[in-house]
Amino acid sequence: MRRRHRAIGISFLLVVLLPALVSAAYLWLVAADQYESRFGFSVRKEQTQSAVEILGGITEFSGSSTSDTDFLNKYIRGRQMVQVVDRELDLSSIYQRQGDPVFSLASDASIEDLEAYWSRVVTVFYDSSDGLIEVRVLAFDAASAQSVAQAILAESSRMINELTAIARSDVTRYAKDELDRAVDQLKTARQTLTEFRSTTQIVDPAADIEGRMGILNSLQSALATSLVDLDLLLKNTSPSDPRIIQTRQRIAAIEQRIQDERASFSTSRTKDEIPYSKLVGEYEALHVDLEFAEKNYVAALTGYESALADAQKQSRYLATYVAPTLAETAKYPRRGILLAMIAGFLALGWAIAVLIYYSIRDRR
């Protein structure tokens, strides 16, 4: 029995006490101090109200966006965040320490090793009920811990801004495409009408017809006056009176001009002598196209402005309630807790092994 007790004591010394002493020596003599930097934030949505409220300067800030905080919770832990911060700060230079292989980053660490180490020095505490995220960053000096925390916060803010831009783009993309098509249609309609006017030298066929009718009415009035003058001359003078000849010549000239003006209504004054009725029809068709394009443009512009208002409601921003802190004293590694855990697991494993060994031995 005494021999068994001696064996148990020796095994306890070798399996539990000696490794615990080695661990204690490493923790207090070799392991470097680690400083903590903390920051906290939530993602908020900004919702613009109606036009009346906008004029009054009223803006509503809604609660946190759960989907965005869920995304950031995973994004901060992910490889992309590691790569972004590494490019900015060179994580290897921050976390590599000579003589401390347990708590420092290996000199030949790959991106996978760096990602695994990141989960050890960056801890995310996420309250899904309130949408609050708090991040703890550890480093071997306080300034480095704060720098890493600031880089994480800046990248998180940039990502939220990018998500906001994507959401706004998705909301306004269709309306912007419709507006662009309406603008092109309006430009085409105006250009076509301008080319028509340039080719025909007619600004408005309706106004041109009205002007020609005015000329024709004036000629008709002059013809009537000349006929009356001729009748008076025939009654009061001899047939050989020169004034009768002049009046008849004037009447003939007016009648010819009237015929010419009437003929011009069927044929335009353009070089190609296109029928005037066809020109009027073409102008009316172009004018209708222009009116339709203008109305379509107004509708598309209204839709785009409405889409912009909806996009404004997609605004999100990072609300920081705790800025990255700068530690004055090192809190990590928690040597006492780590040593107690190591000793406890060693003792538990030793006790189980001893019980199993002597249980098997006693059965023989």
Domain boundaries, the chain: 32-173+312-363, 176-308
Q: How far is CA 107 from CA 30, 89, 103, 239, in A?
A: 17, 16, 12, 131
Predicted pLDDT at 56? 43
Residue 55 contacts residue 156 (beta carbons within 8 Å)? no
pLDDT in tens, 277-291: 677 778 888 889 989
Percent of the chain residues past pLDDT 70, beyond the cut: 84
pLDDT in tens, 254-270: 888 888 777 766 555 55
Residue 66 reports pLDDT greater than 70? no
pTM, to two decimals: 0.62
Mean pLDDT is lowest, of 42-46, 50-54, 119-123, 269-273, for 50-54
Mean pLDDT of the chain: 83
Confidence of residue 86 (pLDDT cuts 50, 70, 90): very high
Predicted pLDDT at 116? 93
Predicted pLDDT at 52? 36
176-308 is classed CATH 1.10.10: no
> Closest Cα partner for 317 from 201, 157, 207, 183?
157
Cis check: omega of the bond before 333, within 30 degrees of 0:
yes
Predicted pLDDT at 54? 44
Of residues 73 and 315, which shows the higher confidence score? 73
Predicted pLDDT at 332? 87
Of residues 280 and 136, which shows the higher confidence score? 136
Residue 166 reports pLDDT greater than 80? yes
pLDDT in tens, 176-199: 889 999 999 999 999 998 888 787
Percent of the chain residues past pLDDT 90, beyond the cut: 32
In order, the DSSP letters of 252-316 are: HHHHHHHHHHHHHTTS-SSTT---HHHHHHHHHHHHHHHHHHHHHHHHHHHHHHHHHHHHHTTEE
Confidence of residue 115 (pLDDT cuts 50, 70, 90): very high
> Closest Cα partner for 346 from 12, 26, 102, 28?
12
Q: Kindly state the DSSP code that residue 332 receives in the 8-state scheme.
A: B
In order, the DSSP letters of 15-33 are: IIIHHHHHHHHIIIIISPP
Of residues 96 and 283, which shows the higher confidence score? 96
Residue 19 reports pLDDT greater than 80? yes
